[in-house]
Structure 1
Amino acid sequence: MTSTTVPLRHDSIFRTAMGDETFDRLHPMLQRRFSVGLDSGEACVGRGVMDRIWHGPGFVRPFLKLGATRNILVPRTGRNVPFVIENVPYLDSFGRETVTFVRTFHLPGGPYRFDATMIHSPERDCVLDYLGTHQHLASDLHFSADAHGGLVIRSGEHRFREGPVDVRVPHLVGADAEVRETYDDRTGRFRIRVRVVNRWFGPLFGYEGSFRAAFMAATAHGTRPGLRPIREEARA
């Protein structure tokens, strides 16, 4: 079982966004996981199983399939799906500390990826989540701690960026994401639940399951080929 010793303080992009008081309310293992960054020098790779990957109504599937061409969302459903998440820090081409959230779901017929790269945006006072292989979509993420030391992440404004275009995604076609992550001391596993919901059409996509995390030196692990996005967006 993984030790739950309180980690040394490291100023990750997530601590910066949450503030010390809120970050310190997280379970110690969540503190360590979200201290991944250049200051801590650690990367984290989680391996586990998603108990369930689900979709909403049938009309959302074409949009999920379109998103999957850029590693955004997952167009398949499944149960007991092997899962890997890679959280690796690096400096992007604009000199910003960035942490990968690359999720790979090993579904029948081949793996599907859901890619994100995160930075702290002082301008927006939050973590900015660039989605997909080309960072065309950017979402504000707001982090908080629940009463039991779990982490809650809720999305805010979404923007589409390509060339000179920089527009807010309308609520009609956009969605609100909520991520809840906890740590189970009994099993030594992180538990995660993700729900993506449109305000008018209801639940669109989500998954829930658990994983164990391995921590390693970020410099030794490195950003393997294909982990970083193909295109990086300068606008925060």
Structure 2
Amino acid sequence: MTSIFRTAMGEDAFARLHPELQRRFSVGLASGEMCVGRGAMDRIWHGRGPTRHLVRPFLALGGTRNILLPRTGRQVPFTIENVPYLDSYGRETVTFVRTFRLPGGPRRFDATMVNGPAGGRIVDYLGTHQHLASELLLFAEPDGSLLIRSGEHRFREGPVDVRVPEFIGGDAEVRESFDERAGRFRISVRVANRYIGPLFGYEGSFTATYARVRDCGVRPGLRPLREEARA
């Protein structure tokens, strides 16, 4: 058994990632490792002009479920926790819980990831209740960095399972690399709507430490409050 990210990318593509990225995205039940990244986001931004006013209510609403970031900032201390576990449906799951220590109090952006049923992609559940699910496609870039693009977004609650319309959805692009000179991971996230433009994003850098999952476990508050069966 390999990590969910290696499975989604395939052996050849995964092997083209920088070795430090390979280790970070090998966190899983097979490796027995978890990873915690600590650093700072150089900036957290929202779309400008009319876009800012249009998306502000959605960002505020998402913030109540640890989805999206309702505030902006610079040099914001940042932590990301990647911990693997089996969810209540027996699926290997990896947390992507990001904490941004903004003025006025910390804000979280939670995600939990599993392999998609069709292979070749990840299903990214967002927030504390996994109401939103996004398909993620992962690519190895020529310089060894990782590019992640979102595909279809779905809203799921009870019997409801609907595709999020494009005019209110956001397409995410994540780039993660390893800076050998600085000894740090660098990340850039951009979410945009194809009709109204950039919505929000952040960029910065962090270092990573690893630990054995069996020694640390999954700390309280890291797993979502509700788990969605549909992938």
User: C-alpha displacement at 1:187, in angstroms?
Assistant: 1.0
Equivalent position of 1:13 in the other structure: 4
CA shift at 1:124, angstroms?
A: 5.7
Do the aligned residues in 1 keep the contact of 2:41 with 2:77 (CA within 8 Å)?
yes
Gapped runs of 5+ residues in structure 1?
1-9
Instruction: Give the corresponding residue for 2:169.
Output: 174
TM-score in terms of structure 1 length: 0.95
Q: Which of 17, 22, 25 is matched with 1:31 structurally? A: 22
- In structure 1, the partner of 2:178 is 183
1:216 aligned residue? 211
Query: What is the distance in 1 between the residues matched to 2:79 and 2:212?
Result: 18
CA distance in 2, matches of 1:71, 1:124: 27
- Among residues 134, 139, 142, which one is paired with 1:139 in the alignment? 134
Among 89, 97, 119, which residue is 2:92 paired with? Answer: 97
Corresponding residue number in structure 1 for 2:40: 49
- Hey, which bits of structure 1, 4+ residues long, moved more than 3 A? none
Residue-by-residue CA offset, 1:45-64 (whole Å, 9 max, x unaligned): 00000000000122211110
Partner residue in 1 for 2:115: 120
Counterparts of 1:123 and 1:143 in 2: how far apart (Å)? 14
Q: 1:163-204, CA deviations, whole angstroms, 9 ceiling, x for partnerless residues?
A: 000000010001100000000111110000000000001000
In the alignment, the residues of structure 1 paired with residue 109 and residue 216 of structure 2 have an alpha-carbon distance, to the nearest angstrom, of 20
Distance in 2 (CA, whole Å) between partners of 1:59 and 1:172 is: 12
Q: Are 1:232 and 2:227 counterparts? A: yes
The TM-score with structure 2 as length reference comes to 0.97
**CA RMSD in angstroms, aligned pairs only:** 0.8
* Percent of aligned pairs sharing the same letter: 73
Give the counterpart letter for 1:129 in structure 2.
Answer: D
